[in-house]
């Protein structure tokens, strides 16, 4: 019998314990051994979890318990789980973690510490979708050209409901929290940080790139307005928060941000809490993975897949490389990223203003692709909405600063990137 200890018996931990019990027959048949959740660790002992576990508030009751074979880490945070996962590995226990923040900062150190002891993390990225297994194993014959996807269920749930049903931001965020989609601190979701952690994990497997969240371009969905949504609809776009990893020459660009994408693309049709990731390999071509990106049972399904793999003895090297990769790939500096942009400006509604704006953009080599004028709620002002041809991030940032200094421009200039 294999015994499991769970650090953090919240939404996902409770589901892990329940599924191990309720689906014990199929899980035992697939793993070849009986797997039992023995104990769990929580912060608040007073709250009833409704599961059949020996509960403690001391993580060492699991990590140092000689009877526990596999430690499942579902605590969230970085420093405390790092210390506990390290200790569990040093105690010779296999570890399964769903903690993307931990991996975003410490995946290479943990890989080193783990050595031949299994450390698995399928649930860390895109919830119930087996994307880690697909990249580590299914696509191992390929050089990866790009990864692009919806990697945060909360953002997608919010955007879908705001765009399709006119839901209010605060209301729908609260609903995502109640449904168990959002992180303990939901700014991780709406600010793009959660998706960036997942993107970094995928980029390590795809490219062997060791970057931290601070090194890459991350923007949230907080500033999207109904004007942007209307413009997107009028010009045939859908707005999605995407994680993007792309090989550009000898470099890899990594970014997370709200993105306008063609409304007829497959990813544009992925709604609600669903995640979807497209991976292009040099030999396989385009592949796509779709499924629930958050929620107790969906995430627990991925956690248990790792447990089953460990019990079967199937696990490979943590990040997918048996020996060092001499790819020569480096992280593309954020300023060098090149893409198309959408801009929204509030301006004086007077002759010559449009020329002033386009001239200013021209100074930075930025060329307009399409343009729309909408009335402003302020009299004698208008909203100008543009899409541009491709330019560099540095040129766009400099242009926005310069436009913001013009007398005819009012307030913040909104910008969104476009991917076609």
Q: Which residues are catalytic?
A: 198
Q: How far is the CB of 80 from ligand HSE (least distance, A)?
A: 18
285 marked as binding residue: no
Between residues 150 and 396, which has the closer beta carbon with respect to ligand HSE?
150
14 has binding-site annotation: yes
Least spacing, CB of residue 100 vs ligand HSE, in Å: 6
**C-beta of 27: minimal distance to ligand HSE in Å?**
22
In the complex with ligand HSE, the residue whose CB is nearer, 9 or 182, is 182
Contact footprint for ligand HSE (CB under 6 A): 127, 152-154, 181-183, 189, 194, 293-294
**Distance (Å, whole) CA 84 – CA 88:** 6
358 annotated ligand binder: no
DSSP single-letter state for residue 66: T
For the chain, the helix, strand and coil percentages under 3-state DSSP, each to the nearest 5: 40, 30, 35
82 neighbors 106 (Cβ within 8 angstroms): yes
Nearer to ligand HSE by C-beta: 130 or 281? Answer: 130
> Do strands 217-218 and 251-262 pair parallel, antiparallel, or not at all (unpaired)?
parallel
- 62 labelled ligand-binding: no
Is 40 known as a binding-site position? Answer: no
- Minimum distance from CB of 151 to ligand HSE (Å)? 7
Please report how close the Cβ of residue 126 comes to ligand HSE at its closest, in angstroms: 8
Q: Please tell me the distance from the alpha carbon of residue 279 to that of residue 262, in angstroms, as a whole number.
A: 18
Nearest 10 degrees: CA dihedral of 333, 335, 338, 342? 140
59 versus 191: smaller Cβ distance to ligand HSE = 191
What is the residue-wise DSSP string for 225-240? -HHHHHHHHHTTEEEE
Question: Residue 278 and residue 138: Cα distance in Å, rounded?
Answer: 14
Cβ contacts of residue 299 below 8 Å, gap of 6+?
A: 11, 12, 15, 98, 123, 127, 128
Residue 13 is labelled as binding a ligand:
yes
- In order, the DSSP letters of 349-366 are -STTHHHHHHHHHHHTT-
Find, among 41, 32, 36, 136, the residue nearest to 80 by Cα: 41
If the CB atoms of residues 294 and 329 are measured against ligand HSE, the closer one turns out to be 294
Known binding-site positions for L-homoserine: 183
């Amino acid at each position: 019998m294999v015994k499991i200890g769970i650090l953090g018996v919240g939404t996902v931990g409770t589901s892990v314990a329940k599924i191990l019990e309720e689906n014990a027959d199929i899980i035992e048949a697939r793993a070849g051994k009986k797997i039992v959740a023995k104990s769990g660790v929580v912060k608040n002992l007073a709250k009833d979890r409704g599961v059949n576990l020996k509960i403690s508030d001391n993580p060492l009751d699991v990590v140092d318990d000689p009877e526990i074979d596999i430690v499942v880490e579902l605590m969230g945070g970085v420093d405390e789980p790092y210390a506990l996962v390290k200790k569990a590995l040093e105690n010779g226990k296999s570890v399964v973690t769903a903690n993307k923040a931990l991996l975003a900062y410490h995946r290479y150190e943990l890989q080193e510490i783990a050595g031949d002891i299994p450390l698995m993390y399928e649930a860390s990225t895109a919830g119930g979708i087996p994307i880690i297994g697909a990249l580590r194993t299914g696509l191992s014959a390929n050089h990866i050209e790009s990864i692009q996807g919806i990697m945060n269920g909360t953002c997608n749930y919010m955007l879908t409901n705001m765009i399709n049903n006119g839901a209010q931001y605060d209301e729908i965020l609260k609903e995502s929290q109640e449904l168990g989609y959002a992180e303990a601190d939901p700014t991780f979701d709406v600010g793009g940080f959660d998706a960036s952690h997942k993107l970094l994990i995928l980029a390590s497997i795809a490219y062997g790139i060791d970057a931290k969240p601070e090194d890459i371009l991350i923007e949230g969905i907080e500033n999207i307005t109904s004007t942007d949504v209307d413009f997107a609809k009028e010009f045939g776009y859908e707005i999605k928060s995407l994680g993007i990893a792309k090989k550009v020459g000898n470099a890899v660009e990594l970014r997370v941000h709200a993105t306008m994408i063609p409304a007829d693309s497959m990813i544009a049709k992925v709604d609600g809490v669903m995640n979807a990731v497209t991976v292009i390999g040099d030999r396989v071509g385009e592949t796509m993975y779709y499924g629930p990106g958050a929620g107790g049972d969906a995430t627990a399904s991925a956690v248990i897949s790792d447990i089953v793999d460990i019990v079967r003895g199937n696990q490979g090297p943590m990040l997918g490389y048996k020996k060092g990769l001499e790819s020569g790939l480096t992280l593309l500096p954020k300023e060098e990223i090149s893409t198309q942009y959408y801009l929204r400006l509030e301006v004086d509604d007077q002759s010559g203003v449009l020329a002033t704006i386009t001239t200013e953009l021209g100074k930075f080599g930025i060329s307009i692709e399409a343009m729309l004028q909408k009335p402003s709620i302020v009299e004698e002002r208008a909203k100008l909405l543009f899409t541009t041809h491709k330019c560099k991030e540095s040129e766009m940032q400099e242009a926005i600063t310069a436009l913001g200094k013009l007398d005819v421009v009012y307030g913040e200039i909104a910008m969104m990137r476009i991917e076609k």
